[in-house]
Structure 1
Amino acid sequence: MNRPSVTAIPDFVALRAPLLPFDAFMQWGNDLQAAGAVSHPPSSRVAGAGPPGNPDEVAHSSSSASAATKSHLTSALAADRAALRSQLSRILEDPHASEALFVASPSMYERLETWRQDPESKQGRKAERSLTRYFARMTGRGTPFGLFASCGSGTIADQTCLPAPTMQNCSRRTRLDMEYLFQLAEELATVSELRTELRFFRNNTIYRAGGRLRYAESHLIGQSRSHRLVVVDETDYLVATLDHAADGARIADLAAPLVDDDISLDEAEAYVHQLIDSQLLVSELQPPITTYDPLGHLIDRLRPYPVAQDIVSRLEQVRNDLRQLDSSTEPNPPATYTAIADQLRQLPAPVQLSRLFQVDSIQESGDLTLGEEVADEILRGVEIARSMYRRMLDDLTDFRNEFLERYGDREVPLMEALDEESGIGFRKSPLPNVEAEPLLGGVILPMGMEADMTWTHQHTKLLGLYSKVIAEGKTVLELSDHDIAELKGKPDELPDAFTVKCSIAASSQEDINAGDYQILFGGAAGPSGARLLGRFAYADEDMNHFVQQHLRQEEALQPEAIFAEIVHLPEDRMGNVLCRPVLRNYEIPYLGQSGAPRDRQIEVTDLMVSIRNGRILLRSRRLNKEVIPRLTSAHNFLFRTLGVYQFLGALQHQGVEGWTAWNWGPIKYAPFLPRVTAGRTVLCRATWNLNARDVVDLQDRTAEDLFAYIQQWRSERRLPRYVLLVDRDNELPIDMENILSLETFIDAIKGKPEAQLVEMLPGPDALCVESDAGRHVHELVVPFHREREPDANRIPPVPAAEITVRQSHPPGSDWAWLNLFAGTTTVDRLLVDEIRPRIAGWSAGGQIDRWFFLRYDVPGWHLRLRLHGDPGALHQSVVPELNRLSAELIQRGLISRAQWDTYEPEANRYGGPEALPLAEQIFTADSDAALDLIATYGGDAGSEFRWKVVLLGLDRLLDDLGFDLNQKLIIARHSAEEFAREFSFEGPFRKQLSQKHREVGPELDRLLRGQRNDEPEIAPAVQIFANRASRVAGPVRQLQQLEQQERLVAPLAEIARSLWHMQVNRVLRTAHRAQELVLYDLIARQYESQLARLRPKPPKKKKARKQANA
């Protein structure tokens, strides 16, 4: 067998699997009657039940409640409920399952008896849905979680052997929750007798900027910790005290140097106490993030102090009790845990049983191996997935560009550069800081994550393959070598160390070793390859050895650089995920304590940043070496965290692929997505997307109606019996013929704007990890390191963007660019009163042949005018006239300044050099239309109509570009999703947008369907857009021809999205990106509604619902 072309070596394998087999979940649903009570019940065959598997083998039925009497179905469901409840109760009586449930949720364990006594009560039903979810989690998900699922490690060998976790080969490690330990450390540091004895250290977030000191201060709000940057004056006393605390010092030792003729010792000590209370100084009791034993650290720090001996004794007893709990060969009853909690209640910190214990289950099986041939096949999946990857602009690109503009080739302190006031910051807030716009009324915009997704030629080709599969009624897209070559992009390099998450589908492990298997490729991530496994290194010596060995392999490829582990704790409870041993020789602590020796800690204030050969370079001043930050944790460093942590985390991915997986791009919103395969590799599972209408349609039904409707719904959509409900990285098994599972599914999606179901793959007949109890689902985590020669002087190149050499049009050329700095409302006035008549005159006189304008808020709000014409005419008449106008406007106080600039067009964004002049003709027509709209819908009276006519203009522009309704929806939904990533598109925000659509949807529907064309408020806009359409028809035809000839650098659909962006910018006054998000979401919902009206209704659906409710 040929090795894959990607050169990487697998280092080891980790197996993650639930303790209970999936057979237990299936057996729970055996012998149910309800499916039989519905005539012609769907087949129970499972998609992907065995290799090669095929999701075509799914349910087929036209059944509904009309095929069975209500009484028959009611009786069947009652019998099913009784049987399911009895079996579930019996399962949860097992001591192992009982302990696992208690560890996961003590409160749920307490409600267990309530459910057993009265399952039909409101509380009983609520508990039942939770119990069903927990049981599905125990049997259907391999990601480690308490005692539900374990993690084990093994080697790469000739053959594959994947032993299932059992009670006999699994051990457990129980720790006190990090949240409790941090709260205890904080409370102990306030005990006056102890506080005077403790050593205190300088807060490691303190830095100097703008002549003052800044640091991160934390606040506990309820059970959540938040942080804010605080600014303090830099006094001699403060600097001296912080310097003395660099290596830790007692309060008395810190206060003594402050005493003089004017300051007494009491006053000096009070000042130090104030610094502690303000968190400028932190106590030695704070547990480190990088340690094997956080509780042991706290005990060791307290042991020297006589005043703390009672506390030490109690904590040592708790530690011993935890060890006994872990060493027990039998399941531990809840009383064992509550006894420990009772001991801890004698200490200052509050005790919550549900937030007191962190338990990890470790599979200690020495015969776990992954065959080299399978590892090669996994690597082929990486090769295929990355070949279709296209690098997008990212936050580091923005930072690099802003850094070069601000600092050039200088090297500056990292904290100076990241300071948002005096530096350039990192991932600044996208929230509008301008006056409210009518469109944003009632919409509270949260902070969020930016992303740059662009429609590529690969997406166009993929859309063709997808359409062919759907048209042929297939459910599997099988990629040929030709297809893969057609979809191939220009990927970044793989990281020097990365990990692949995958599963193997095979009837048995013998079949795997015989070559009869499939691999579900879940994605590749890095660097490093130990991100998912670092937190288990404390509990498993083998895992610790493998992880350390893997990291050394990565570091050996750049021996002259220092690899430094990022140590950060955004919230106390996140310490359970972030806590890990010291894994590297150096660490960068920031708002988190390091377990490394002091001389191995690199303070953020020691780091310098510069740009070298297009690459962001960190250097330690103390060590005079390049520093490469790494985070050996799965924590999402971009989500609601401080900018320094985000920057260090993002820097790991500079110039490499941080994540490689199958991505449908804008097609991912289709109602059904087929399974995608390439040889033995499954790149993507079959997926069913439920929109808001689907979700609502499943709610508020009687049990009989729900069950019958679901069976019909399965038949129409060809869903198998067992599917997975996906919510981000959580996957919950659902049995479509089990009423308790169905009701749990309906409850889980209630109130959500969308939901996603995926096929279970490997399917039940292809679960190759077996124990005596049955077949288990599983996940494999396989770390790789690149195979190449070390290069001490290697500077990884930053991939060049796919752009042509930029044209430059300085002042005096055929393009004139003038910036007029004015307020937001003044810009409207300037456009209508001053610019509009002059543009009309210059165009009629031939001085200009193309022009356009934009609004920008950096550096300061201003209007950008760009005009094209013969240089002679342009600079003899147009430019002098604009200079006179600028002087007059400054004198009148309408603008603060005027500035001529150099125009460097974004050729690639609009299709390349051939397409750019055509795009500029469209710019001209759109700018003229925008002037007419602003003049027509001016002032406060017109602002309410302005956003609506913009939405109409967006729709008409897609018509002008020749897109049909399906294509318009894809463009709109893609645009909405891109902006949703820029803002945190969470549940509450989605609800606000849904509410906004409910309020204005009917009005917009009439607007887009042309039913308001004759209304006096709308008729002018309709005529303006008709004029624009006639003017852009010629350039659009030429752009379409270029696309057909494959001479566009960007697809026409992507150009359309850029034209949308510019139209919104021109017509609306402020808060453009926020308004774009709302506009694109609204128009996408309108297109979905239009398509829904065109879609044929399923037969007999209305009649079935009536009968079910009869």
Structure 2
Amino acid sequence: MAVARRFRHAGLVLVRATTCPPEVVPPGGLDLADLTAVDREGATWLARVWAHREVYEAVEMASPALAARIDHLLAVDRPSERKLRRAAESVASYLLRWERRATPFGMFAGVTTGALGPAAAKIGADHRLVVRADAEWLADLIDQVESDRALRERLTVVADNTGTVRDGCLLVSRRAKSGARSPGPLREASVRLTTPIGYALDQATTPLRFDVLAERVSRRFPGVTTDRIHRLLHGLVDGGFLITNLRPPSTVEDPLDHLIQALRAAGVHETGTRELARTLDRLEEIGARLVQHNTTADRARAATLRAAAADAMRSMAAGTGHVLAADLRLDARIVLPEQVMEEAERAADVLLRLSAQPFGTAAWMDYHARFRARYGLGALVPVRDLLADSGLGYPHGYLGAPRARPAWRMLTERDAALLSMIQRAVVDGAEEITLTDADVRALTVGDHTRVVVPPRVELGVALHATSPEAIDRGDFELQVVAAPRAHTSMIGRFAHLLDEADRARLARTYAPGDGEVVAAQLSFSPRRPHNDNVVRVPPHAGTVALSLAEHPGGHGHGGIDLEDLAVTADADQLYLVQRSTGRRVVAHSPHALDTTVQTPPLARFLAEVADARSVVFGPVDLGAARTLPYVPRLRYRRTVLSPARWLLTSGDLATVHGDQDAGLRGWRDRWKVPARLVLCQAELRLPVNLDQPLDRRLLCAHLEKAGQIELREDAPPGGLGWVGRAAELVIPMVATAAPPRRPPITAPPGPVHQPGDAVLLRAHLVGNPAWFDAILTRHLPTLVGELGAPIRRWWAGRHRDLIRLEADQYLVVLLRLTDRCRYGPVAARLAAFTDDLRARGLTEQLMLAPAAEHPGRYGHGPALEAAEEVFATDTAAAIAQITMVEVAGVPGQAVAAASMAQLAAAFAADPASGHRALTRHLEQGSGPLDREVRDQALHLADPTSDFAAVRALPGGEAVAAAWRSRATALATYHRLLARQRDPAELLATLLHEHHVRALGPDPAHEVTTGRLARAAALRTLATAPAPAAAEGAR
């Protein structure tokens, strides 16, 4: 069976390519490991490189500090050889990157869009460089300007909408300082949430002028002096609790112009100080130069404008040396045939199929399970409440999460299959593993007919062909170079370089196919100011803004307020919901900023939660093979899904004489390593040619620092002939058939009864599940009988963590008490009961846990009380069934299947409707069933003469009586629940819970039991008298 087609391209392809001129090739011959050679030839080598105007401009844009250092080294007579070597290493790295990498970066590489048609590729030299103010420079300048308290009076402010209240204090996240190389740990600012502060922040939930806010606070607290109120508000601005309109949201394309317009709106020229007016004048001059730069076609004039603007900017705020950020639109015409796009679609299809996480990450599976246990299905929990420390907090692995990421990893069948393929390839001396459809099935995890496909993905590929004509003949291959997470984008940050038609195509990839879904574009400040340069994305048409910790400025476009968001869940998925409309919200980050460290955890949560249980789309996960020293190339059809890769450690190069070159040669001979590779270390991707001494020195320098590096094979010889340089394609795709996903009917979360003082007691009897039947049938009923009057009703279940399989299993016992004062005595009796079970070797320990009511799942008011009666009678039915199985020797699965069919018949307007509902909710399945068990299930499910077949068995009368009691409770529940929602939506839940009570939590076993119950329901429907015949018989 071929891999199912899941994605189609959107008619848009972003082409990324280097701008390296043919004459700018890194000069070879210099051995950077030889300090004598560096001292003798280093300055000459560096001067020869630096003489290229293109090199100087590109390096100066990328690293002004390096450019200044090189200028100084070339100006002195006897520069230090070590400084020369460091400078040469840096320049060589830039040149290698320029020659061989397509990732956009300053003037080194840029983007354009490709058209569809017969293959063609032409790249000119008249590229368009678009510059804007560097994020850190601008942040430092805004800090300076905003410190003017007189100016603040005329600015608008808004409260940080991500603040959280804890122990009487308000906390907001703070970013790292400008110049920080990493965002570091989470930092917070805190202020005691006094009544005046709370009032001021409530008034500032939407933007208003600072002086207007001060006036409102003064009117509300007339006994407080004006000076004190202003000091309070200034303190809130200084602490980040109030955000001024000087700070541009990330949807603003030109942040410098945003600042200029805000200062103009504040009347700086009319009422500001002379210094502020002068600052605005200089900013306007800089802004005008940048506009001229971005619109002129004269390269020399552009360089002059850029230099003048940079000089003026450095004189205003020194920052980190960078004052300009740049993106480049290529002067190029690229045309690609449909078959290239189709091959990319197939690659995306197979990557989805090879995902090791078909139902979401382990963290999100765990979070979903904890949500269901804490709040119940259908509970609508406001995002703030959910993420609070009193809620679930963030999923494990998130910054600030209450739970650490698990360190263990299980070896799976997928790991075993992949390791076997790798070993066979290595033994056979094969350089690649060509996956067949059978191989793909062997590497597939889970049932892909049940998975949820991400609605949108992007795939980055390198196209390898000798010429455009070869592409048209189909003589090409693709190599996957990037597969970003589905909620992020590699294209968005370049949207400002696209024309209107391509912007529209990009926006349509986010447009939901369902009118009940809202597409939201996240807008937030990254944790490190420097990253503002890569998160600025203009609003996509058809999406709404979801702004976090930002002043919306004048660029709002119908956004969603954080307070209007909540999370709910059904049995399969989590949903982000707009509370005011009930519509599902799918939020996305329109850029590729790292989500684990660089992104605020709230923004990451909102981007992930809506599709948290979808297939995790990404590069091939090598699983247990990720630590192997060598993994061959992995191919499917014409696409290299994963290039050959090697892990090189310092120990691999160890030789008796410390000769690194000799060690490297030995390592290459042993592992048959080609010369052209890509060095991968953290975010670094540096192409190297190990036949060149300069490249070898750079590789060894990185190895010395890291101890281990990853090396991947580079493009095949001649593979870039079609375009003449390093180039990559980024192709957005949408799901071909995304079935509508409706959130469940929702209700507010129910109360949580805490141990010690509650009318609902929840106890966990932890132990070996092999003895749970004995506890249920022989001991628990006796305990409840002894407790007597304090117990209104009771029910039980079994718990097994299906994500952390090594976790303890336990029986769950719930006791509805007549009065909360009974909790203590009943708990004490439970403790004694547990001691007795321990003495009998039946359990390990007792745990008292909070008991949450789930009105979102079961209904509220009388319906919820009726549901508890169903739980109680279903527990009694399960106990009677277990007892009958023990004494009569019939298969427990057959009895449970018959019971499930009877349950469905009772939970409906009439038995036939219930049986039909069961057949709709349970899978038909495939494959043979145990004939004896199936026949028993059909026999026991026959309702003739009040289940005569059941009653004929030892213990059968008790089962039939329990079923009758349960049927009465189900009928009452069905009638009461119908006043609130369609009861049929709950049938699958009730069937699942019966299976757990009677047989235990085992998904595979439950599917088989469901097939038996379905067969029993169909048999009953088939043998029931026709309505007309039945009427005549009466």
How far off is 1:789 after superposition? Answer: 7.3
Structure-1 separation of matches of 2:163 and 2:33: 67
Equivalent position of 2:473 in the other structure: 514
Whether the 8 Å CA contact 2:16–2:110 is kept in 1: the answer is yes
1:881 to partner: Cα distance: 9.0
**246-255 or 672-681, which deviates more:** 246-255
1:527 Cα deviation after fit:
3.2
Q: Which residue of 2 aligns with 1:412?
A: 381
2:313 pairs with one of 324, 344, 362: 344
Q: 1:557 aligned to 2:513?
A: yes
Q: In 2, are the aligned partners of 1:344 and 1:351 still within 8 Å (CA)?
A: no
Which position in structure 2 is the counterpart of 1:287?
Answer: 248
Q: Which residue of 1 aligns with 2:326?
A: 359
1:472 counterpart residue number: 428
Distance verdict in 2 for CA 1:177–1:472, change over 3 Å: same
Offset of residue 108 of structure 1: 1.5
Over 3 Å counting, the alpha-carbon distance change for 1:132 and 1:810 in structure 2 is: farther
Shift, 1:755, TM fit: 1.1
Conservation of the 8 A alpha-carbon contact between 2:129 and 2:328:
yes
What pairs up with 1:15-164 in 2 under 5 angstroms? 15-20=15-20, 25=25, 28-29=27-28, 89-113=47-71, 121-155=81-115, 157-164=116-123
How far does residue 248 in structure 1 lie from its aligned partner after superposition?
A: 2.5
Which residue pairs with 1:935 in the alignment?
A: none
- Supply the distance in 1 between the matched residues of 2:728 and 2:708 (Cα, whole angstroms): 26
C-alpha contact (below 8 Å) 1:769/1:778 kept by paired residues: no
Q: 1:882 to 1:411 in 2, by over 3 A?
A: closer
Match of 1:767 in 2: 720
**SS of 1:175 mapped into structure 2:** strand
Q: Which amino acid is 1:765 matched to?
A: G
Match in the other structure for 1:747: 701
- Normalised by the size of structure 2, how large is the TM-score? 0.67
Paired with 1:789 and 1:405, the residues of 2 have a C-alpha distance of 28
Question: Within the alignment, does 1:636 sit opposite 2:602 as a pair?
Answer: no
Counterpart-to-counterpart distance in 2, 1:523 and 1:153: 18
2:362 to 394, 400, 405: 394
Identity %: 22
1: distance between equivalents of 2:605 and 2:648? 36
Could you say if the C-alpha distance between residues 808 and 731 of structure 1 is closer, same or farther in structure 2, counting changes exceeding 3 Å? farther
Q: How does 1:963-982 map to 2 (within 5 A)?
A: none
Contact 2:3/2:349 (8 A) holds in 1: no
Find the aligned partners of 2:687 and 2:656 in 1 and give their Cα distance. Answer: 19
Tell me the residue number matched to 2:820.
Answer: none
The corresponding residue for 1:718 is 672
Deviation at 1:884, TM superposition (A): 6.9
CA distance in 1, matches of 2:350, 2:522: 32
Report deviation, 1:411.
1.5
- Please tell me the residue identity of whatever aligns with 2:252: T
Alignment match, 2:339 = 373
Alignment of 1:160-559 (within 5 A): 160-164=119-123, 166-168=124-126, 170-207=127-164, 213-218=170-175, 220=177, 223=180, 227-230=186-189, 232-259=191-218, 261-304=222-265, 305=267, 306=270, 307=272, 308-326=276-294, 327=296, 329-330=298-299, 337=306, 339-347=308-316, 349-353=317-321, 355-365=322-332, 367-391=333-357, 393-408=361-376, 409-420=378-389, 422-428=390-396, 454-490=410-446, 491=448, 492-527=451-486, 531-538=489-496, 540-542=497-499, 545-559=501-515
Larger radius of gyration: 2
Give the superposition deviation at 1:199. 1.8
3-state DSSP of counterpart to 1:181: helix
Displacement of 1:635 after TM fit?
Answer: 0.9
TM-score normalised to structure 1 length = 0.62
User: Is the 8 Å Cα contact of residues 130 and 326 (structure 2) preserved in structure 1?
Assistant: yes
Q: CA deviation at 1:564?
A: 0.9
Q: Is the 8 A contact 1:479 1:677 kept in 2?
A: yes
Preserved contact between residue 582 and residue 596 of structure 1 (Cα < 8 Å): no
- Give the aligned partner of residue 835 of structure 2: 883
Task: Kindly provide the CA deviation profile for residues 211-262 of structure 1, in whole angstroms up to 9, marking residues without a partner as x.
Answer: 7644334463863666534555544322332233233233332222333552
Structure 1 CA distance for aligned equivalents of residues 597 and 696 of structure 2: 32
Q: Post-superposition shift, 1:372?
A: 0.4
Q: Read off the aligned partner of 1:16 and give its amino acid letter.
A: R
Aligned length: 763
The 3-state SS of whatever aligns with 1:750 is: helix
Aligned partners of 2:300 and 2:710: how far apart in 1? 37
Q: Please tell me whether the aligned partners of residues 586 and 600 of structure 1 are also in contact (alpha carbons under 8 angstroms).
A: yes
8 Å Cα contact 1:15-1:780 kept in structure 2: yes
Partners of 1:196 and 1:466 lie apart in 2 by 68
- Pick 1 or 2: higher relative contact order, CA cutoff 8 A, min separation 6: 1
Distance 1:728 1:467 in 2: 27
Offset from partner CA, 1:774-796 (integer Å, 9 cap, x none): x3111110111223378485889
**What do the CA deviations read for 1:974-1021 (whole angstroms, capped 9, x no partner)?**
xxxxxxxxxxxxxxxxxxxxxxxxxxxxxxxxxxxxxxxxxxxxxxxx
Query: Which segments of 5 or more consecutive residues in structure 1 lack a partner in the other structure?
Result: 35-72, 435-446, 797-805, 818-853, 868-877, 888-894, 903-1046, 1050-1110
The answer (yes or no) to whether the contact 2:207–2:551 under 8 Å persists in 1 is no
Q: Give 1:595 deviation, angstroms.
A: 5.9
5+ unaligned residues in a row in structure 2: which ranges? Answer: 746-768, 781-799, 812-829, 852-1003, 1007-1034
CA contact (8 A) 2:178 2:530 kept: no
Classify 1:100/1:418 alpha carbon distance in 2 versus 1 (closer, same or farther; 3 Å).
same
The answer as to whether partners of 1:381 and 1:681 remain within 8 angstroms in 2 is yes
Q: 1:812 to 1:881 in 2, by over 3 A?
A: closer
**CA displacement at 1:591 relative to structure 2:** 2.3
Separation in 1, partners of 2:171, 2:838: 41
Deviation at 1:557, TM superposition (A): 1.2
Letter of the structure 2 residue corresponding to residue 587 of structure 1: A
Letter in 1 for 2:343: E
Q: 1:44 matched to which residue of 2?
A: none
Separation (CA, whole Å) in 2 of partners of 1:509 and 1:433: 51
Q: Distance in 1 between matches of 2:580 and 2:401?
A: 40
Aligned-partner Cα distance in 2 for 1:552–1:277: 40
Greater mean deviation of Cα atoms: 552-561 or 181-190: 552-561
Cα separation, 1, equivalents of 2:554 and 2:183: 25
* Contact in 2 for aligned 1:497/1:554 (Cα 8 Å): yes
Deviations 1:755-782 (A, max 9, x none): 1111112x24221343xxxx31111101
**Could you tell which deviates more after superposition, 388-397 or 13-22?**
388-397
d(CA) in 1 for partners of 2:392, 2:439: 44
Aligned-partner Cα distance in 1 for 2:404–2:776: 41
Q: Which residue of 2 aligns with 1:1102?
A: none
Aligned to 2:972: none
CA RMSD of aligned residues (A): 4.2
**Partner residue of 1:62?**
none
**Cα distance in 1, alignment partners of residues 331 and 599 from structure 2:** 36
SS of 2:121 mapped into structure 1: coil
Change (3 A) 1:137 1:119: farther
1:109 & 1:248 partners in 2: Cα distance? 43
Label 1:163 to 1:78 Cα distance change in 2 as closer, same or farther (>3 A). Answer: farther
Secondary structure class of the residue paired with 1:143: coil
Tell whether the 8 Å contact from 2:398 to 2:601 is kept in structure 1 after alignment: no
Distance 1:299-1:815 versus aligned 2 partners, 3 A rule: farther
Give the superposition deviation at 1:81.
10
Aligned to 1:536, what secondary structure does the other structure show?
helix
Query: How has the CA–CA distance of structure 1 residues 550 and 106 changed in structure 2, closer, same or farther, with 3 Å as cutoff?
Result: closer
The CA deviation at 1:89 is 4.1
